[in-house]
């Protein structure tokens, strides 16, 4: 175990853990804001209780997303000092802008939302949640602009022994960043939609608060149809952008070893990394890969064997994660459409099997998102900044292996405990339902 | 010129962070002592409830600005201080979730567990931030071959004294906050604690100012340009005013305490200039506002962002403090329609 491996392991662990909580924050903030807006518009108390119920779940989830985010900001300097020094001129600004534009907005107005029920007007209260949702998206935008720059560096020059900005707007508005932002945010919306539908389905199965949860399910389903379709379309565009800018990542995603003009797409592949080929390739669709990646049936897809040795990412994990994400994403579109259909026809309650499936569906969008990050980050290897800086050249020289082992062990233990508590609390309060939420308040439990 | 502006802003962000999260830390350390039962403890937690998160964002901004404006300092500072920063992270994570978790399971043992977490993990970052800044004032042992210190070299007498000084400042600050934001017994106990703590704080503050002369080079800037003595003078004055105001108005005393923290931090920042982190072994390897900064392009870009957005942030944070300006009463905590921690 070398220092680079340990530092990567720690970053992967803390980032993937952080991203268990962020997507629900992205999606549920919008959904709670929609619920509260419906309450303000209609005056229907059902929506108020719905807002408070899902709002409480939102807060339990938000707490961990917030605190685990600080780790990531600190970690660039702690574990990746050479990286931070080399790219700080470019990578630092979006992080500072994120804090200034987004985190203050999120945290301040979340405070107003939690504690301000009797202190601000109804409209201002609902607006606070919209501002939280807006802040969350702004935060995602800037951190993904930073990440997109690592994937496809633009608007810079290497000078004074480091990368320096020459064109901030080029980095902030490059298609890679915009697509990544849209893909990530809508993926968060999918998580939010499935969460609201799943929790509602749980209560509908038990005939609990049928009116409230049918309404909630409807909001979730409509939002889910929109989100699953958009995330899919943007995902396709994003993959085309990857093909253009990161050919090694594309080749690993599709497990293409040898360059081919008019490359087919195989529905079933077993990569054999050791022998630099696929052990099994079945059900090929002629020219499909060239079509999807380059929108041209005769385009050449460059294979992994045609890149310099040591410049290609691990194939199996990138390939399998990508396939799993796309498979799940396709499934989500179908499930969301079915959900919308059943709630429109008002026969959802009779479809017990579907309601049960929706409860069990809650974790899957999370899993798809984690796969997505594995594709994005493992697929970029061996580069930390694609084509510019190798990951192995980016670590902190001052940090020793025992130090990383200590912090890694600390994070594993701490995050495991907090993750278990948080998920336990989410399930507990989700099961208790809206009535219980106000009972605890009477007891002064919260 | 922009390098100097960003150096000042860098100091200002840390100063604002300590001024704001300082009372969160203070209240967190104090709560087992000024609150004797569950509802009183919840009262303490709810005084910081709506604002602690927004306060902590100043730390994230200070970190982000260090990264953006002084990337070399960010890289060295965070990797050289790896272990203490890890403990600070650990503490901030646990303290952050404790507010949300504490009331979520109806059990006395559960609440007690998180009460201890709030106490201990408010104390630890308060102390460690002080130790870290004490060491920055002294300079870190770094040269061409990198960093030569360990966790234990950081725990030197001056570093520890600065740590204790920070803890006492935050205790004073938190006690004054609770005096005005809590009600009933909690407020009374906090007032009495604030009055007692003040004398200890005064002694340690004097010791800090004297020891600084021997342990650091901070005073060099002051002797070469004595007009700057106004900064520590205001710090001492505001410390004295806390005592004076405490007799008539704890609100004014709290504002004096805010000014004290700002000026104490700036006493260090002025003394450091142009270093962000001096080298204690070879000044050629000090990290300065010039040799560790971003390009002029990035400094200008970030300056524009800061000039536009920081005033907006300050405006709505003041607005939110105003909304929650009323002290927390026991009745507030029993109100079923109002969410509280």
ipTM: 0.90
Give the pLDDT confidence score for residue A75 in this predicted structure.
Answer: 93
CA dihedral B214→B129→B141→B272, nearest 10 degrees, is: -60
Q: CA A23, CA A58: separation in Å to the nearest integer?
A: 11
Classify the C-alpha dihedral A351-A355-A360-A364 as positive or negative.
positive
Q: List CB contacts (< 8 A) between A85 and chain B.
A: 71-72, 75-76
The number of C-beta contacts closer than 8 angstroms across A and B is: 251
- How many folded domains does chain B comprise? 1
Q: Give me the half-sphere count of Cα atoms (radius 13 Å) on the Cβ side of residue B293.
A: 21
Euclidean distance between the first and the last CA atom of chain A, given in angstroms as a whole number: 45
Tell me the chain A residues in contact with residue B309 when contact means C-beta distances shorter than 8 Å: 100-101
Name the minimum distance, in Å, from the CA of B222 to any CA of chain A.
31
Please give the Cα distance from A5 to A281 (Å, whole number): 32
CB contact under 8 A, B53 and A111: yes
Reading chain B (341 residues) residue by residue, the pLDDT tens digits are 899 999 999 999 999 999 999 999 999 999 999 999 999 999 999 999 889 988 999 999 999 999 999 999 999 999 999 999 999 999 999 999 998 899 888 888 999 999 999 999 999 999 999 999 999 999 999 998 888 988 889 999 999 999 999 999 999 999 999 999 999 999 999 999 999 999 999 999 999 999 999 999 999 999 999 999 999 999 999 999 999 999 999 999 999 999 999 999 999 999 999 999 999 999 899 999 999 999 999 999 999 999 999 999 999 999 999 999 889 888 888 877 777 77
Domain boundaries, chain A: 3-259+302-443
Rounded distance, CA A42 to CA B316, Å? 29
Nearest CA in chain A to B79: A78
Q: How far is CA A1 from the centre of its chain?
A: 29
Matching residue, tokens 């010791």: B207
Domain assignment present for residue B340? The answer is no
Give the pLDDT of residue A118. Answer: 87
Give dist(CA B104, CA A261) in Å, integer: 60
CB contact under 8 A, A77 and B333: no
Q: What angle do CA B165, B167, B173 make, to 5 degrees?
A: 105
| Spatial separation of the C-alpha atoms in residues B204 and A14, rounded to whole Å | 39
Q: At A390, which helix (H) or strand (E)?
A: strand A389-390
pLDDT of residue B32: 92
What is the residue whose two structure tokens read 């006395």? B108
B64, B295, B297: residue with CB nearest A73: B64
pLDDT of A437 reads 46
Neighbouring residues of A230: CB distance < 8 A, sequence distance ≥ 6: A182, A186, A189
Q: Could you tell me how far CA B82 lies from the centroid of its own chain? A: 19
User: pLDDT at residue A269 above 70?
Assistant: yes
DSSP A171-208: HHH-HHHHHHHHHHHHHHHHHHHHHHHHHHHHHHHTT-
Distance CA B48, CA B37 (A): 18
Q: How far are the Cα atoms of A159, A235, A427, B169 from residue B262, in angstroms, in the given order?
A: 37, 48, 44, 11
Cβ–Cβ gap B75/A103 under 8 Å: no
The H helix count followed by the E strand count for chain B is: 14, 4
Min Cα distance B65 → chain A (Å) is 5
B50-53 CB contacts, 8 Å cutoff, 24+ apart: B50/A111, B50/A112, B50/A114, B50/A115, B50/A116, B50/B320, B50/B323, B50/B324, B51/A111, B51/B20, B51/B24, B51/B320, B51/B321, B51/B324, B52/B21, B52/B24, B52/B99, B53/A66, B53/A107, B53/A110, B53/A111, B53/B96
CA A28 to the chain's CA centroid: 13
pLDDT band at A443 (very low <50, low <70, confident <90, very high): very low
Where residue A435 falls among pLDDT bands split at 50, 70, 90? low
Distance CA A251, CA A264 (A): 13
- Answer whether A211's CB lies under 8 Å from A435's CB: no
A109: tokens are 């107005």
| Shortest CA gap A20–chain B (Å) | 16
Task: Tell me the C-alpha distance between A28 and A441, whole Å.
Answer: 22
Q: Tell me, what CATH number does B196's domain have?
A: 1.20.1630.10
Q: How far is CA B316 from CA A111, A128, A165, B132, in A?
A: 12, 12, 31, 31
The alpha carbon of residue A374 and the mean position of all alpha carbons in its chain are separated, in whole angstroms, by 11
Distance of residue B168 Cα from the nearest chain A Cα, in angstroms:
26
Q: Is B78 in contact with A103 (Cβ distance < 8 A)? A: no
- Contact call for B294 and A92, based on CB within 8 A: yes
Among B71, B100, B335, select the one facing A88 at the smallest CB separation: B71
What pLDDT does residue A1 have?
63
Q: A410 vs B64: CB contact, 8 Å cut-off?
A: no
Q: Nearest by CB to B78, which of A69, A78, A160?
A: A78
Categorize the per-residue pLDDT at A444 as very low, low, confident or very high, splitting at 50, 70 and 90: very low
**Cα torsion through B168, B170, B172, B175, rounded to 10:** -130
CA nearest B62 in A: which residue?
A96
Between CA B171 and CA B177, with CA B173 as vertex, the angle to 5 degrees is 115
pLDDT at A439 over 70: no
**Is B42 close to A444, i.e. CB distance below 8 A?**
yes
* Inter-chain touch B324–A88, beta carbons under 8 Å: no
Backbone phi, psi, residue A307, to 5°: -100, 155
Strand-pair partners of A266: A284
Range of the domain at B77: 2-334
CA–CA separation, B119 and B32 (whole Å): 7
Q: Calculate how close chain A gets to B74, using CA atoms only, in Å.
A: 6
User: The tokens of A394 are what?
Assistant: 């980016």
Q: Are A37 and B37 contacting, i.e. CB atoms less than 8 angstroms apart?
A: no
pLDDT above 60: residue A446? no
pLDDT of residue A100: 92
Pairing of strands B142-143, A156-159: unpaired
Exposure string (b/e) for B305-337, b if CB count within 10 Å is 16 or more?
Answer: bbeeebeebeebbeebeebbeebbebebbeeee
Q: Which residue(s) pair with A162 in the sheet?
A: A159
CB contact under 8 A, A111 and B50: yes
Short-list A115, A118, A105, A143, CA closest to A29: A105
Answer whether B97 sits within 8 Å of A422, measured CB to CB: yes
Inspect the interface and report whether the beta carbons of B313 and A99 lie closer than 8 Å: no
Contact A84 B100 (CB under 8 A): no
Which residue of chain A comes nearest to B102, CA vs CA? A446
Share of chain A above pLDDT 70, in %: 97
Which of B53, B65, B97 faces A110 most closely, judged by CB atoms? B53
Q: Which residues of B touch A428 (CB under 8 A)?
A: 104-105
Residue A255 is given by DSSP the state T
- How far apart CA A98 and CA A84 sit, in angstroms, is 17
Q: What gap in Å lies between CA B85 and CA B151, rounded to an integer?
A: 11
pLDDT the model gives residue A445 = 35
In a domain, B339, yes or no: no
Structure tokens at A30: 């919008």
Give the least confident one: A18-22, A320-324, B102-106.
Answer: B102-106
> pLDDT tens, A53-112?
999 999 999 989 888 988 998 999 999 999 999 999 999 999 999 999 999 999 999 999
The band of A124, judged by pLDDT with boundaries at 50, 70 and 90, is very high
B221: Cα within 13 Å, side-chain hemisphere:
20
Specify the DSSP class assigned to residue B140: B
The whole-angstrom distance between A206's CA and the closest CA on chain B is: 24
In order, the DSSP letters of B256-315 are HHHHHHHHHHHHHHHHHTTEEE-BSS-GGG-EETTTT---HHHHHHHHHHHHHHHHHHHH
A-chain CB neighbours of B99 within 8 Å are 63
CA distance A32 to A35: 5
- Omega of the bond leading into A260 within 30 degrees of 0 (cis): no
Q: Which of B89, B103, B316 sits opposite A446 (nearest CB)?
A: B103
Distance CA(B191)–CA(A1), nearest Å, equals 55
CB contact under 8 A, A107 and B64: no
Q: Per the CB < 8 Å rule, is B301 touching A168?
A: yes
Going by C-alpha positions, the residue among A89, A123, A128, A96 that lies closest to residue A111 is A128
Among B104, B109, B335, pick the best mutation site for testing chain A contact (most A Cβ within 10 A): B104
Residue B179, min C-alpha distance to chain A (Å): 20
Residues of A in contact with B114 (CB under 8 A): none
Mutate to test the interface with B, among A417, A444, A445 (most CBs of B within 10 A): A444
């Amino acid at each position: 175990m070398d220092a680079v491996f340990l530092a990567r392991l720690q970053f992967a662990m803390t980032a993937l853990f952080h991203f268990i909580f962020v997507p629900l924050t992205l999606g549920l903030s919008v959904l709670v804001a929609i619920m509260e807006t419906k309450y303000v518009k209609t005056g229907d108390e059902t929506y108020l209780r719905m807002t408070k119920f899902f709002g409480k779940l939102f807060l339990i989830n938000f707490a961990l997303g917030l605190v685990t985010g600080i780790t990531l900001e600190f970690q660039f300097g702690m574990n990746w000092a050479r990286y931070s020094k080399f790219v700080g001129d470019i990578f630092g600004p979006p992080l500072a802008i994120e804090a200034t534009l987004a985190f203050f907005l999120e945290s301040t107005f979340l405070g107003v939302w939690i504690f301000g029920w009797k202190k601000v007007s109804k409209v201002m209260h609902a607006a606070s949640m919209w501002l939280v949702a807006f802040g969350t998206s702004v935060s995602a935008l800037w951190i993904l602009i930073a990440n997109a720059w690592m994937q496809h560096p633009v608007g810079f020059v290497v000078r004074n022994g480091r990368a320096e900005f020459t064109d901030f707007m080029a980095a902030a508005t490059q298609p890679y960043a915009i697509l990544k932002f849209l893909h990530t945010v809508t993926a968060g919306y999918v998580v939010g939609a499935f969460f609201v539908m799943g929790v509602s389905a749980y209560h509908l199965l038990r005939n609990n608060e049928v009116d409230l949860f049918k309404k909630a399910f409807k909001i979730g389903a409509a939002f889910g149809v929109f989100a699953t379709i958009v995330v899919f379309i943007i995902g396709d565009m994003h993959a085309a952008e990857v093909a253009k800018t990161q050919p090694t990542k594309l080749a690993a995603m599709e497990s293409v070893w040898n360059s081919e003009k008019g490359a087919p797409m195989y529905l079933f592949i077993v990569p054999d990394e050791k022998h630099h080929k696929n052990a099994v390739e079945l059900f090929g669709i002629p020219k499909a890969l060239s079509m999807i990646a380059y929108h041209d049936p005769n385009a050449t897809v460059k294979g992994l064997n045609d890149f310099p040795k040591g410049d290609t990412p691990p194939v199996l994990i990138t390939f399998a994660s990508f396939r799993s994400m796309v498979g799940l994403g396709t499934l989500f579109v179908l499930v969301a459409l079915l959900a919308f259909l059943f709630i429109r026809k008002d026969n959802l309650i009779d479809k017990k099997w579907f309601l049960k499936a929706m409860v069990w569906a809650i974790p899957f969008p999370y899993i798809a998102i984690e796969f997505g990050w594995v594709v994005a980050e493992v697929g970029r290897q061996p580069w930390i900044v694609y084509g510019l800086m190798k990951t192995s050249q980016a670590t902190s020289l001052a940090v020793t292996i025992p130090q990383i082992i200590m912090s890694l062990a600390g994070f594993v233990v701490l995050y495991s405990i907090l993750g278990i508590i948080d998920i336990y609390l989410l399930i507990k309060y989700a099961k208790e339902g809206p009535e219980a939420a106000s009972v605890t308040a009477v007891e002064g439990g919260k | 010129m922009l390098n100097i502006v960003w150096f000042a802003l860098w100091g200002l962000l840390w100063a604002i962070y300590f001024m704001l999260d300082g009372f969160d830390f203070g209240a967190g350390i104090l709560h087992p002592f000024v609150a004797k039962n569950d509802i009183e403890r919840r009262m303490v937690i709810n005084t910081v409830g709506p604002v602690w998160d927004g306060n902590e964002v100043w730390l994230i901004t200070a970190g982000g600005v260090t990264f953006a404006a002084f990337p070399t300092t960010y890289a060295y500072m965070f990797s050289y201080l790896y272990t203490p920063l890890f403990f600070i992270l650990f503490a901030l994570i646990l303290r952050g979730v404790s507010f949300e978790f504490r009331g979520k399971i109806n059990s006395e043992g559960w609440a007690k567990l998180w009460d201890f977490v709030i106490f201990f993990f408010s104390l630890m970052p308060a102390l460690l931030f002080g130790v870290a800044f004490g060491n920055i004032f002294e300079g870190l042992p770094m040269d061409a071959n990198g960093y030569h210190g360990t966790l234990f070299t950081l725990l030197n007498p001056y570093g520890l004294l600065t740590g204790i000084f920070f803890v006492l400042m935050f205790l004073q600050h938190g006690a004054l906050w609770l005096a005005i934001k809590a009600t009933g017994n909690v407020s009374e106990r906090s007032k009495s604690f604030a009055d007692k703590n003040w004398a200890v704080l005064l002694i340690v503050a004097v010791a800090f100012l004297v020891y600084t002369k021997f342990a650091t080079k901070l005073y060099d800037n002051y002797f070469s340009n004595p007009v700057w003595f106004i900064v520590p003078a205001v710090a001492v004055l505001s410390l004295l005013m806390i005592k004076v105001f405490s007799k008539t108005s704890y609100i004014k005393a709290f504002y004096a305490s805010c000014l004290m923290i700002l000026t104490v931090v700036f006493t260090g920042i002025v003394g450091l200039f142009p270093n962000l982190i001096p080298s204690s072994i070879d000044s050629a390897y000090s990290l300065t506002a010039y040799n560790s900064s971003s390009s002029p392009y990035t400094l200008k870009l970030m300056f524009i962002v800061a000039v536009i957005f920081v005033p907006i942030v300050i405006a709505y944070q003041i607005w939110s403090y105003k909304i929650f300006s009323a002290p927390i009463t026991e009745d507030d905590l029993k109100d079923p329609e109002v969410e509280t921690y």
